[in-house]
Structure 1
Amino acid sequence: MASAEAKSLEKDQPDNIKFKIIVMGATSVGKTSLISQFVHGRTKNSTSDTTKDFYSCKITDGDVNVSADILDTHGDLEFPQMMKLAIQTGDAFVLMYAVDDKTSFDRMNCIRDMVVKWKSKERKNTITVVCNKMDLDVPTRSPPKEIVEAVVEMDWGHSYMEITTKDKDAVDRVFKEVVQRHVCACDGSAASGQRRMTSPADIIHKLRRRLTLKKLKSNT
């Protein structure tokens, strides 16, 4: 399982991997809580707790030792140039949305399009989509899990995970997944996502049509 040390990094060993993880998403989806839970073992309770942008830590996954710089973008998303700079300098991306906020999914989709657009020539970037706040009771999800899962994993070729940042083990699994995908990408074995400049409405319509056709075929 992945683990982190919240302290200044000493000189890396020759076999260590060093890369930058960018955490992005709409306001109040839990970006800072995700990072704080991973690095410090505790969550942040409000957006006012977001006081630090940059975290350095060590991540261990089996025999793989990784030195990671994690960037919490929080307010930077309001400034296009800062967002573009963050994306262009990142190696791996955690794109977050909240299960109880449909607009945060739309925002995540737009950010994903920008990541693919600005990183399209670099094959070593990886994306993990995280749905947060799964501890909340949400009677009707919009968009439904099946649609999001199909879009993220089948159409985009990214990882998709559902968590609550209150669960340290779940948070550790997110960063373990990020490390594994980055290592695979560095080895040239990870498939790069194709650019898809589609709106959330187009995506949902497409998936609904696909699921309807699948249902019709199964009934024939």
Structure 2
Amino acid sequence: MNTTEKFYLPVDGIFEMFSSLTGHHHQSSVTHAALTSEHQHPKVKGMGLIKTVKKCWRQQDKKIGESRSSSSGNRQVSTDRLSKRSVDHLELGLTKPQNCHRIVVLGAPKVGKTKILHRFLGKEFEESYEPTTEDFHRKLFHIGGETYQIDLLDASSERDFPAKRRLTVLTGDIFLLVFSLDDKESLNEVHELLNEIKAAKAKLQKIKPPARVPVVICGNKADLDSRRALRRSDVGEILGEGATFFETSAKTGAGLEAMFRAVATLGGLPDETSPSQHQIVPILTYQSLCGQQQQRGRRSGRAPCAAVDPLARRPSFTSDLRLVLGSSTKKPKPEKCQIQ
């Protein structure tokens, strides 16, 4: 097709396609009436049709939300609208700043970082391997009447970009360093990362290195005992006896619960953030729960629960840079950032 030609879509039959893809069966008649009243011609420009459909859907969502609110006698927001954007409770004022944490996961490729993160998120282990460029997750907790927001960043793509990785280190609150028990070189890389983290944090805080940083070290693939190249004594010799170290298996789940509890303890998080200590609920259920808490006050008797935000995206590097600049109160000139 020539690029200068206009693209047209027939009105009849397009509504069934939208309904099958989006599930908006209850809005098809309204949308069809709106379009046919405005466009009597049997053909409508493709982009104009899409914009009109979206406009009608937004209007219908608004009417449905108002109807639900008036019938229930409260000011709850429509769940259809709540599901369309990421949940940042810090920005919404629903979570205290001290209850928001970022866990940064670092390590060599193919050591099981993503599999361990999936376990924390409540997902099952999968044998398939796909190289991770950068993976960002957000898990939201409701524990004892308090809300917590934990961002998890698998910064695998930053391995060959020291300046970018340095910024990630400076914005991290808790660190999980992962190596494989069948690969000694991956342990050496973790040792270098540990020293880099301590030096970067010490420089930011204007103290003499090494800085005290919440770091948990994970020796993964403990299930591959026949291929093991490292023993606990080897790990202690390279990392030092004071390192918080766990042998784990993302495949069988061995050692993960103790490791997650150590992450919570060192990071100042409740024990209920460990995967076995809370129930996973859908994101809409969690949002509804937080709305009830805001209206009726805290309810400490509710069992701990958590939800994974499916729309979470990593904050921009500009936001991370501002966070770093604002966290160092001792600097006379805030424009002099320590990531260079």
Normalising by the residue count of structure 1, what TM-score does the alignment of the two structures yield?
0.67
Structure 2 equivalent of residue 166 of structure 1 = 251
- 1:54-203 matches, cutoff 5 A: 54-58=136-140, 66-121=148-203, 122=205, 125-138=213-226, 141-142=229-230, 144-149=231-236, 152=239, 154=241, 157-168=242-253, 170-183=255-268
Match of 1:32 among 114, 137, 145: 114
Post-superposition shift, 1:164?
0.4
| In 2: Cα distance, 1:109 partner to 1:24 partner | 11
Q: 1:29 to 1:140 in 2, by over 3 A?
A: closer
| Aligned residue type for 1:178 | V
| In 2: Cα distance, 1:66 partner to 1:76 partner | 27
Post-superposition shift, 1:177?
1.3
Task: Report the 3-state secondary structure (helix = DSSP H, G, I; strand = E; otherwise coil) of the residue aligned with 1:173.
Answer: helix
Post-superposition shift, 1:132?
0.0
The structure with the larger Rg is 2
Q: 1:112 to 1:64 in 2, by over 3 A?
A: farther
Task: Report the 3-state secondary structure (helix = DSSP H, G, I; strand = E; otherwise coil) of the residue aligned with 1:119.
Answer: helix
| In 2: Cα distance, 1:84 partner to 1:75 partner | 13
Provide structure 1 residue ranges, at least 5 long, that are not aligned to the other structure.
1-6, 185-220
Post-superposition shift, 1:28?
0.4
Q: 1:15 to 1:89 in 2, by over 3 A?
A: closer
| Aligned residue type for 1:180 | T
| In 2: Cα distance, 1:52 partner to 1:79 partner | 13
Normalising by the residue count of structure 2, what TM-score does the alignment of the two structures yield?
0.45
| In 1: Cα distance, 2:213 partner to 2:141 partner | 18
Structure whose residues are more often strand by fraction: 1
Structure 2 equivalent of residue 205 of structure 1 = none
Post-superposition shift, 1:176?
2.3
| Aligned residue type for 1:145 | R
Post-superposition shift, 1:90?
0.4
- Calculate the aligned-residue CA RMSD, in Å: 3.0
Task: Report the 3-state secondary structure (helix = DSSP H, G, I; strand = E; otherwise coil) of the residue aligned with 1:68.
Answer: strand
| In 1: Cα distance, 2:254 partner to 2:145 partner | 19
Higher relative contact order (CA 8 A, sep 6+): 1
| In 1: Cα distance, 2:114 partner to 2:228 partner | 26
Post-superposition shift, 1:62?
8.3
Q: 1:35 to 1:88 in 2, by over 3 A?
A: same
Structure 2 equivalent of residue 218 of structure 1 = none
Aligned residues: 175
Post-superposition shift, 1:113?
1.0
Q: Is the 8 A contact 1:124 1:182 kept in 2?
A: no
The percent identity for this pair of structures is 25
- 1:13-32 matches, cutoff 5 A: 13-14=95-96, 17-32=99-114
Q: 1:171 to 1:138 in 2, by over 3 A?
A: same
Q: 1:23 to 1:63 in 2, by over 3 A?
A: farther
